[in-house]
Amino acid sequence: MTGWGILKSLWVTFKHLVVTYIEDLRYGKRRYFTPEGVEARRSSDVRGIFTVQYPEEKLPVPEAFRYLPFLIYEEGPDGEKQMRCTSCGICAKVCPPQCIWIVRKNDPQTGRPIPTPAAFYIDVDICMNCGFCAEFCPFDAIKMDHDYEIASYDRLSEHIYDLEKLAKPVTYYASIRPTDYALEEAARAQKGSAKKAETTAG
Amino acid sequence: MSEAVPRIAQIPNLVDLFPDKVQPDTRPGYQGYLVGREHLLEVVQRLRDEYGYDYLSSVTGVDYLPEGKMEVVYHLYKTLGGPALVLKVQMPREDPRVPSLVPLYRGAEFQEREAWDLLGIRFEGHPDLRRILMWEGFAGFPLRKDWREPYFEEEAKPFKSRWPEGFVFRAEDRNPFGDNVQYPPGFDPETWTPPDDEAIYRVLKRASEEDDLHADTLVVNLGPQHPSTHGVFRMVVSLSEETILDLKPVMGYLHRNHEKIGERNTFLQNMPFTDRLDYLCSMSNNFGYALAVEKLMGVKPPERAEYIRVMMAELTRFLNHIFAIGFLLNDLGAYFTPALYAIEERELILDIFEAVSGSRMMCNYFRFGGVARDVSPDILEKVRRLVYDRLPRKVDEMDEFLTRNEIVRERCEGVGVLTAEQAIANSASGPVLRASGVPYDVRRAEPYSIYDRLEFDVAVRYHGDIYDRYLIRLDEMRQSLRILQQVVRDIPEGPIMTGKPQYQVRVPPGEAYGRVEGPKGELGFYVVSNGKPNPWRYHVRAPSFINLTSLVDMARGAKVADVVAILGSIDIVLGEVDR
């Protein structure tokens, strides 16, 4: 019968419409503007509306999420920043759009390089968020951030990040990527103890 | 008796067949045959007519600057399946001419134009040899090794200015004009009018004089800024009343010379760039590129990585097809209700991609010899719930929603027909080819990864119209779910990477063509290595680009309002068309 197919199509849309209200009634106030409600709207058995009201509501990002690199520093005993970066240059070499710029520090007396960066720049207009720098850094010194709200008014003055803007404490890293952090710390501890055993044995 | 039956997987020995016209390519790491350019047409015609090589998959050129040679590389296949027959024609760099294969395979049309545009190889006998991605009047041939872009810094990455004395600067600050446009000598952009428009209008077919009504032929530009073209894509059509007489696609508005960028990159640095080709299906793009380079390197990913790869590739196919169906309905005028239902499911799959790779669309997930991160058990559980429960239900819902709808049928049935012969001759691939009744799927024709072990059917439909191209996507989604269910059930534990992750991979000299059945069709990567850290040649056989060859066959005789739906049914992504 002509028209039956259209009616069936309309029935599908009608069901979608009704389910939205049913779900709203079922969840009540918990459905919107609560972390629980956001989670419910992205689970595999979600029915009804999917929309997340950004920026009032935000989807939590998974741990693997990557957006712009940052440099990790550890706080020394009297609060000074100890950069993990040794300015080995692997991140600059592996970077596909070549947006990482590193100036190596040299000892003023001997002229020999010191394993810490004198300057470190990332042009965030060029960065393509591929995550290679973090993946291949042998010192766990550069990691990908979770903060994706970085809009600014002037690209010429604000979009080349320098050492100061890139440096973030290791505690911040531990807070955004707890699993990765725990794994890396365990590996470091193992490496450290192996080294210690070697020196005591030797 | 059985001797007379040609075996599908066997490549005929061309040296025996064509003595002193053909010689084997003996360079280490290379395969196939070298053909003299004066014999090319004859050899290819016999291969097509007598030996069943009816499908010209890829045509591209390579500039061997140190040897002073240019080379055109052809990859021929049988639609019955089997490996590639690779033919090459070499010519001196000063005189790059080769006979065009368009009379034998119409599918060569755009690819030959591309090789002319980017490498300056002249294809003699080509019916319409104009630039295709660059603009007419552009200076030089960008893929030649001695051509340099305006922001040129060094021949190959990594650039020396970045470390250890990396004092930052912006490329545009070094350019006196502040932009990256390079004009040919004597060129004034203020007074210039594009000659290619004239050329297009001239070659369009017009109504003949003997027409009864003496109706005027009307030339209409659809696009480039038109919401139905899914991006910046232009179709120049000539109309007799509302019927389309002829159509010329115009592309290149998003061209960024992906291949030149790829040749400046190291092998690994290319991986995130492949994400940006077909930006809906970055996982499939990664897959094809990884396969090509792994062929050269001779590494094989471990079992678990293979399963993860197939899982990601099939999820990608699912999301691409559901998205394509949704947007086809947009083109038909069902504004955004089906599209948004499709996006809901896509959202759930993208959540998985994000949790696995760190990014929703630009996944950059594959590495040579494995994948970047392992899939954790809770993500696997999420995939399981999707592929066993939710997604099958949603495909059925889509089916119920659209398939029997009279308006959809009225607009789609019998419109934009592409016959099987045309589809093969035009080198169409993917759903476009299979909807025309050719059951050709790279996953079965030349299985890669673990597809030979998985149980699924090659979906095929026979009418070749928009409706069948819609139905085949539903069929393929169901088959993808079937594959996914097997993968989720059987995925083994184990490592996800062969060897240690390296940022500078060693790729021995040679050539490789890696192809996968992408959601849009056969996605191939042709990579030539000379042993250096950067590929010497990197070429993408982009399925949406080549599928557009069939657009004119589908559109001829249709109404102008249907062109939008026909284009939607091919399912193009301009990031891949224009590269």
Residues of chain A neighbouring B154 (CB-CB closer than 8 A): none
The 3-state secondary structure of B512-576, one letter per residue: EEEEEEECCEEEEEEEEECCCCCCCEEEEECHHHHHHHHHHHHHCCCEHHHHHHHHHHHCCCHHH
A contact test, residue of B401, B403, B481 with most A CBs within 10 A: B401
Q: Is the pLDDT of residue B452 over 80?
A: yes
Q: Report the length, in residues, of chain B.
A: 579
Nearest CA in chain B to A148: B359
CB contact under 8 A, B404 and A16: no
Mean pLDDT of chain B: 87
CB distance B164–A16 less than 8 Å? no
Q: Inspect the interface and report whether the beta carbons of B164 and A104 lie closer than 8 Å.
A: yes
Partner residue facing B268 (CB), from A4, A5, A94: A94
**Above 80 in pLDDT, residue B70?**
yes
Dihedral sign from CA coordinates of A133, A137, A142, A143:
positive
| Global pTM value | 0.90
| Mean pLDDT on B329-338 | 86
User: One-letter amino acid identity for A143?
Assistant: K
**Interface check A113 vs B, CB under 8 A:** yes
Among the partner-chain residues B168, B385, B503, the one whose CB lies closest to the CB of A90 is: B503
Q: Is the peptide bond before A55 cis (omega within 30 degrees of 0)?
A: yes
Instruction: Report the pLDDT averaged over residues B374-386.
Output: 91
Distance from CA of A167 to the nearest CA of B (A): 17
pLDDT tens track, chain A, 202 positions = 688 888 988 999 999 999 989 988 988 888 888 888 888 888 888 888 888 888 888 888 999 999 999 999 988 888 788 888 888 889 999 999 999 999 988 888 888 888 888 889 999 989 999 999 999 998 889 999 998 888 889 888 888 898 888 889 989 999 998 988 898 888 888 887 877 776 666 5
pLDDT of amino acid A164: 87
- In whole angstroms, what is the distance from residue A53 CA to residue A35 CA? 12
A44 touches chain B (CB under 8 A): yes
Position B130 confidence tier, pLDDT thresholds 50, 70, 90: confident
3-state secondary structure of B231: strand
Residue B1: the pLDDT is 39
**Band (B546; pLDDT cuts 50, 70, 90):** very high
Angle of the B303-332 helix axis to the B560-570 helix axis, nearest 10: 170
Token pair in block for residue B253: 């508005």
Task: Please tell me which of the candidates A61, A103, A131 has its beta carbon nearest to residue B166.
Answer: A103
Q: What's residue B8's pLDDT? A: 60
Distance CA A49, CA A30 (A): 14
Which of A113-117, B169-173, B481-485 is predicted with the least confidence, judged by mean pLDDT? B169-173
Q: Is A112 on the interface with B (CB under 8 A)?
A: no
Q: Which domains are delineated in chain A?
A: 1-60 (no CATH), 70-201 (3.30.70.3270)
Q: Which chain A residues are within 8 Å of B404, Cβ to Cβ? A: 4-5, 8-9
Cα dihedral sign for B366, B371, B374, B380?
positive
Report how far residue B196's alpha carbon sits from residue B137's, in angstroms, rounded to the nearest whole number: 9
- A103 contacts B165 by C-beta, under 8 angstroms: yes
Q: Which residues partner with B217 through β-bridges?
A: B240
Alpha-carbon distance B143 to B62, whole Å?
A: 9
> Is A44 close to B406, i.e. CB distance below 8 A?
no
Helix (H, G, I), strand (E, B) or coil at B407: helix
What residue type is assigned to position B529 of the chain?
S
The alpha carbon of B280 is separated from its chain's Cα centroid by a whole number of angstroms, namely: 13
Interface membership of B503 toward A (CB under 8 Å): yes
Cα nearest neighbour of B367 on chain A: A132
pLDDT at B574 over 70: yes
| pLDDT (0 to 100) of residue B210 | 58
CA trace torsion B47, B53, B58, B63 (10° rounding)? -20
Tell whether B172 is within 8 A of chain A (Cβ).
Answer: no
Q: Is A32 on the interface with B (CB under 8 A)?
A: no
Which pLDDT score, from 0 to 100, does residue A201 have? 60
Q: What pLDDT sits at residue B302? A: 92
List beta partners, residue B243: B240, B559
- Per-residue tokens: B126: 């080509």
> Which of B5-9, B56-60, B91-95, B190-194 is predicted with the least confidence, judged by mean pLDDT?
B5-9
Alpha-carbon distance values, B422 to B55, B265, B436 (Å): 11, 38, 9
Closest CA to B431 of B522, B504, B351: B522
Task: Say which residue the tokens 């501890």 belong to.
Answer: A189
Q: Is B404–A93 a contact, with Cβ atoms under 8 angstroms apart?
A: no
- Do B158 and A96 count as a contact with CB atoms less than 8 A apart? no
Instruction: Provide the percentage of residues in chain B whose pLDDT is more than 90.
Output: 40
Per-residue burial over B18-41, b = 16 or more CB atoms within 10 Å of its CB, e = otherwise:
beebbeebeeebbbbbbbeeeebb
Q: Quick one: residue B70, left, alpha or beta (phi over 0 = left, psi -120 to 50 = alpha)?
A: beta
For the cut 60, the answer to whether the pLDDT of residue B5 exceeds it is no
Q: What is the pLDDT of residues B550-566, one digit of tens each?
A: 999 999 888 888 888 89
Interface membership of B162 toward A (CB under 8 Å): yes
Give me A147's structure tokens: 């903060």
Nearest CB to B364 within list A94, A100, A131: A131
Amino acid at the residue B82: G
Q: Average pLDDT, stretch B476-491? A: 92
Residue B46's pLDDT band (boundaries 50, 70, 90)? Answer: confident
User: What is d(CA B241, CA B153) in angstroms, rounded to the nearest whole number?
Assistant: 53
The minimum CA-CA distance between B368 and chain A, rounded to whole Å, is: 14
Best CA proximity match to B409, nearest among A14, A1, A6: A6
Rounded Cα gap, residues B223 and B234, in angstroms: 4
Interface membership of A50 toward B (CB under 8 Å): yes
Q: How confident is the model at residue B545 (pLDDT cuts 50, 70, 90)?
A: very high
Q: In this structure, are residues B355 and B381 in contact, taking their beta carbons and an 8 Å threshold?
A: no
pLDDT at B184 over 80: no
- Is residue B355 less than 8 Å (CB to CB) from chain A? yes
Residues paired with residue B222 on neighbouring β-strands, in sequence order? B235
The pLDDT, as a whole number, for residue B138 is 79
Which pLDDT band holds residue B176 (cuts at 50, 70, 90)?
Answer: low
Could you say which of A64, A95, A144 has the minimum Cβ distance to residue B355? A64
